[in-house]
Structure 1
Amino acid sequence: MTISQPHEAQAYWVTDKGRGELRRESIQTPGPGEALVRTLYSGISRGTERVVHEGRVPVRVAERMHAPHQEGDFPGPVKYGYLSVGVVEEGPEEWLGQNVFSLHPHQDLYVVPVKELTRIPETVPARRAVLTGIVEVAINAIWEGGPRLGDRVAVVGAGLVGGAVATLLRNFPLGRLELVDPDPKKAKLAEAIKVDFAQPKDANNDCDVVFHCSGTDDGLKLSLQLAGDDSDVVEVSWFADKDVTLPLGEDFHARRLTIRSSQVSVVAKARRHRRTNAQRLALAVEQLKDPVFDIFLTGECRFHDLPAAMIDLFGRRGSGFCQVVAYPKPEE
């Protein structure tokens, strides 16, 4: 293990509703089984991080929604984030120089146990690897839904998570796969990942599995309409503090449908006894060897501009997916 003096780091903190700042902190030399990671890129997950940025995490589930390396409590001040890619600069010899993914907040330098790092294959660019945590969410949802040979599947909501779910499912031997979204511009995404696209009025029904990823009442209502008798709707969205209104007297009750939650903090029940969170992350980063995932990287800002970039990102509507945060090199 290499030895060095303590370092100074900077991290992004949500300080108030709609506001954040970079704060300095001291980083100690890594101990046994730990690594010092210098961040190359991090990613902003628009859905979840918007909820945190706006102080909308429900009190009832605040503890459950803690990110692995979060500091502070909701609504804030809180250091939050979970899409970080960096290079190991100090630690066990076999880890030195390795590009790694970590479920760590936006921070330029940090120390974590090596068991909480995921090695990034040389064939996966570091910038693309920020999507590891998003692909992990998609894998968990697919394990939850368990689509079978010849199944008719719909993914409702062509955002970052819905797009990732559809991208993975396009390689399955399905009878039908359709990406559904009210925004006709999302047809470009469907074309890029080579899956069928439909707006709600044109979507096919009688599905064996529907993955709902839109985060809207209308999207969940549509998912119930598209699901076939006795089938499952896998709810991947996080509504946070939003109330949801559904017509449960219609399709849900009459056709004996099931709405099943998929939440990434634990492995889906169908695989929970045979897969660990670390194995799920390792599988996720392997999927990123496919360059098609670059389509989900839509925008970049510099780390030092992150407080302003967060306000700008969440203050406007748009069809972007994952905003990348680029960190300065040591010589900068």
Structure 2
Amino acid sequence: MIKSLWHTSSLTEIRPNRSPHIESNQIRVESKYSMISLGTESLILNKNVPKAIEDYMTIPYMDGNFDLPIKYGYALSGILNTGEKVHLMHPHQDNCIVDKTSIFKACQELPLKRIPLISNMETVINAIWDSDLNQDHTIVISGFGNIGSLLAVTLKHHFNIKSKIIETNEWRKRKAQELGFELFSETSGFDIAFNTAANENALQFCIDNANEEGKIIDLSWHGNSKTILDLGGNFHKNRLHLIASQVSKIPISKRKEYDYFKRKVLAVDILKNNIFDQLITTIIPFEGAPEFFNSVRNNKVPNGLIYLIKY
């Protein structure tokens, strides 16, 4: 029997299904941890996926559709019957029957709870590539959640580059400071801003406070939300660059050097640092996942940075 997490229009629930026959080109993965992509999954719960990009937002092994119900998720870690660890793109599910080509094995040195972070680390890597930053740039990160905290820690501990944090949530502010980050004050501008907040006010703040020819890298997915920005002021005066960054494509400037496998290997190398375990603040047992997502529906998300489901 296989158990999967499903989102319906009214609730989230775990549904059992008979385990299918395994074909010769398939393999069974015993799930250990899956990562909740809170921003994306919240938009899906609320049916805020634009029709025009539904195909683009379809993930491997998804079932149902964006009108709900849907079996969705992001990335998980698991074990093969050989004992090998794997990374896999798959909805939240306790056992997975997948094509052998879907699994990524070059992650044996990582603990199982850190392996699901590989996918969001690829997002971070893309954003860093898109920014073309260097040691001389002043950098801010707007939003200290899953992506923002991963980005800040990566810049600090892998690239030895400082950044300041913009955050309105008091718990996340304290967490950023505990991890050694300085909060941004409005007394100075910045050269590069990474917006991870999926919020037009946060994006506007980045635009309004960027230095001349500064770059705003927007890592957020806004879904169906209409974003209204004032581009007649600092954006115009300071010749700013507003760049959309997302993980599904490698930047053109990096495609000769990197393919998707090599980018994943780089993500694994960065994640070997034990500091990233401090960002995993919330681990939810699989049986408790419906209660968590039903709280998300009611805008009662518990404070945290990275949320994992444990099987």
Q: Give the letter for the 1:304 counterpart.
A: E
* Cα gap change, 1:318 to 1:11, in 2 (>3 Å): closer
Does 2:20 align with 1:24? no
* Cα gap change, 1:152 to 1:312, in 2 (>3 Å): same
Q: Among residues 99, 106, 124, which one is paired with 2:110 in the alignment? A: 124
Does 2:307 align with 1:323? yes
State the match for 1:43 in structure 2: 35
Distance 2:40 2:18 in 1: 25
State the match for 2:208 in structure 1: 225
State the match for 2:71 in structure 1: 79
Distance 2:141 2:292 in 1: 30
1:166-205 correspondence runs (5 A): 166-171=152-157, 172-174=159-161, 176-198=162-184, 202-203=185-186, 205=188
- The normalised TM-score by structure 2 is 0.91
* SS of match in other structure, 1:219: helix
> RMSD value over aligned CA atoms?
2.0
The answer on whether the counterparts of 1:27 and 1:110 sit within 8 Å (CA) in structure 2 is no
Which whole-Å deviations, capped at 9, do the CAs of 1:9-67 have from their partners, x for residues lacking one?
A: 121122225434424143322423x3211101112121111111222111121111112
State the match for 1:135 in structure 2: 121
Q: Among residues 21, 24, 44, which one is paired with 1:52 in the alignment? A: 44
Which whole-Å deviations, capped at 9, do the CAs of 1:140-198 have from their partners, x for residues lacking one?
A: 11111121232211111111111111111114354x52111123433333234433222
* SS of match in other structure, 2:309: strand
- The normalised TM-score by structure 1 is 0.86
State the match for 1:330 in structure 2: none
Distance 1:30 1:296 in 2: 38
Name the count of aligned residue pairs. 309
State the match for 2:218 in structure 1: 235
Moved more, 301-310 or 137-146: 301-310
Unpaired stretches in structure 1, ≥5 consecutive residues: 1-7, 90-95, 328-332
Does 2:18 align with 1:12? no
Unpaired stretches in structure 2, ≥5 consecutive residues: none
Does 2:259 align with 1:276? yes
Q: Give the letter for the 1:105 counterpart.
A: P
Distance 2:260 2:188 in 1: 34
Q: 1:262 Cα deviation (Å)?
A: 0.7
* SS of match in other structure, 1:69: coil
Q: 1:298 Cα deviation (Å)?
A: 2.2
Moved more, 74-83 or 265-274: 265-274
Percent identity between the two aligned chains:
25
1:290-305 correspondence runs (5 A): 290-305=273-288
The answer on whether the counterparts of 1:11 and 1:106 sit within 8 Å (CA) in structure 2 is yes
Distance 1:271 1:17 in 2: 43
Moved more, 47-56 or 116-125: 116-125
The answer on whether the counterparts of 1:205 and 1:225 sit within 8 Å (CA) in structure 2 is no
* SS of match in other structure, 1:115: helix
* SS of match in other structure, 1:147: coil
Distance 2:209 2:255 in 1: 28
Moved over 6 A (4+): none
* SS of match in other structure, 2:192: strand
* Cα gap change, 1:204 to 1:27, in 2 (>3 Å): farther
